[in-house]
Amino acid sequence: MEEVFFTSMRGTSLLKRFIKPEEIANLVTYIASPLSAATNGAALRADGGVIKSAF
């Protein structure tokens, strides 16, 4: 079902799969850690990204 969904409905998805809850947890852990000190003013997305156009 996932393969069909991403082939027919989300052809521009970069990951070509659903993300896992652990991946969201990893992003939240990073944001809450000192490692993210230089990350400011940025919109952080955990969705795999989308290619709007090849050119």
Query: pTM, whole model, 2 decimals?
Result: 0.62
Question: What are the Cα distances from residue 55, in Å, to 7, 27, 45, 46, 47?
Answer: 20, 30, 23, 24, 22
With cut-offs at 50, 70 and 90, classify the pLDDT of residue 50.
low
Q: What is the pLDDT of residue 37?
A: 93
Q: What is the mean pLDDT of residues 29-47?
A: 87
Can you read off the two tokens belonging to residue 41?
A: 């003013």
With cut-offs at 50, 70 and 90, classify the pLDDT of residue 20.
confident
Q: What is the pLDDT of residue 49?
A: 61
